[in-house]
């Protein structure tokens, strides 16, 4: 019996990596513990009698650093999590049993790239602090020749990802603000009943200049109200450069029991 998916792999596929590298000092939100990697044992520190040697690592990290997914336990509103659970009570015992990231099943779904700068004719990307509107998202759909639908993963490119290598303060828009969707854009996404939504910025949504992370209404709309996962700090430049707008999206969170999020390495997969 032939397996269509396996047949497609045999014929050849193209894989575009959407994850950012993890390294000490990388750009991240100031609200989360930093990523730190070290080598407690290096080659030569201990050598076996046969001449063999092994090195090993220690990683200390927050779960919302680098490219990562937000579990539904990550945000509450007026003391309630998604589905109405009491947010304080849910965290007793030091883990979120019901809505932690361990409950996020592996994601293998249709992905749609909404390339907002390309749709708006702005090759350098959206300006700092630009709020992406529902009209912009619809223009990006027309540009893609694809509509976002039930169960999809919608990836919103603002072009701000080009600043990832410019330093933490630049990428997180400490003074300038960061482009992204606001509450209206989040409502547009939620109305399409997507499974997850992601962006190429550190906080997913629009940040006004000088405001930092003081208000995050899109997180409330998606995580709390709609139960839609959020993926942040995606690398969407390669996907946009390849002109790929529809693809198979693959993402598997680390199964950290009770955690509010997880670093991830998402992939966009298409036929070769």
Does residue 248 lie in a domain region?
Answer: yes
Does residue 33 lie in a domain region?
Answer: no
pLDDT tens digits along 216-228: 999 999 999 999 9
What is the structure's pLDDT at 1?
Answer: 47
Percent of the chain with pLDDT over 90: 90
Distance (Å, whole) CA 76 – CA 121: 37
Determine the structural domain holding residue 210 and report its residue range. Answer: 4-21+63-271
pLDDT tens digits along 197-206: 999 999 999 9
The residue-averaged pLDDT of 91-113 equals: 98
Does residue 75 lie in a domain region?
Answer: yes
Domain count, the chain: 1
- Separation in Å, CA 242 to CA 58, 209, 211, 236: 36, 31, 34, 10
What is the structure's pLDDT at 167?
Answer: 85
Distance (Å, whole) CA 191 – CA 145: 19
pLDDT at 252 over 50: yes
The residue-averaged pLDDT of 77-100 equals: 98
What is the structure's pLDDT at 19?
Answer: 98
Residue 18: Cβ within 10 Å count: 28
- Separation in Å, CA 150 to CA 63, 109, 140, 142, 154: 28, 11, 17, 18, 10
Pick from 70, 29, 30: which is nearest to 218 by CA? 70
Query: In this structure, what DSSP letter does residue 47 have?
Result: B
Does residue 54 lie in a domain region?
Answer: no
Q: What is the mean pLDDT of the chain?
A: 96
- pTM given for the model: 0.96
The residue-averaged pLDDT of 11-35 equals: 95
- Asked whether the beta carbons of 163 and 114 are under 8 A apart, the reply is no
Does residue 182 lie in a domain region?
Answer: yes
Does residue 262 lie in a domain region?
Answer: yes
Task: Tell me the CATH number at 110.
Answer: 3.50.30.50
Does residue 48 lie in a domain region?
Answer: no
What is the structure's pLDDT at 210?
Answer: 85
pLDDT tens digits along 104-160: 999 999 999 999 999 999 988 999 999 999 999 999 999 999 999 999 999 999 999
Does residue 32 lie in a domain region?
Answer: no
pLDDT tens digits along 233-243: 999 999 999 99
């Amino acid at each position: 019996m032939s397996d269509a998916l396996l047949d497609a792999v045999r014929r050849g596929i193209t894989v575009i990596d959407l994850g950012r590298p993890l390294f000490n000092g990388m750009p991240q939100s100031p609200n989360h513990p930093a990523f730190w990697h070290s080598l407690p044992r290096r080659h030569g520190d201990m050598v076996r009698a046969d001449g063999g040697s092994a090195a090993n690592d220690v990683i200390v990290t927050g779960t919302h650093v680098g490219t990562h997914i937000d579990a539904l336990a990550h945000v509450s509103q007026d003391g309630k999590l998604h589905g109405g659970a009491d947010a304080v009570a849910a965290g007793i015992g030091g883990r979120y049993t019901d809505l932690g990231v361990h409950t996020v099943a592996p994601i293998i779904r249709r992905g749609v790239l909404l390339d907002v700068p390309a749709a708006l004719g702005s090759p350098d990307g959206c300006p700092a602090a630009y709020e992406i509107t529902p009209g912009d998202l619809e223009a990006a759909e027309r540009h893609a020749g694809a509509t976002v639908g039930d169960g999809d993963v919608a990836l919103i490119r603002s072009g701000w990802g080009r600043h990832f290598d410019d330093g933490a303060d630049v990428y997180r828009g400490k003074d300038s603000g960061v482009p992204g969707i606001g509450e209206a854009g989040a409502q547009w996404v939620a109305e399409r009943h997507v499974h997850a939504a992601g962006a190429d910025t550190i906080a997913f949504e629009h940040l006004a200049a000088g405001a930092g992370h003081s208000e995050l209404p899109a997180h409330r709309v998606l995580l709390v109200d709609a139960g839609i996962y959020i993926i942040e700090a995606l690398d969407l430049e390669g996907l946009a450069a390849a002109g790929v707008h529809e693809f198979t999206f693959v993402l598997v969170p680390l199964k950290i029991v009770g955690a509010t999020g997880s670093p991830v390495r998402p992939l966009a997969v298409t036929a070769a």
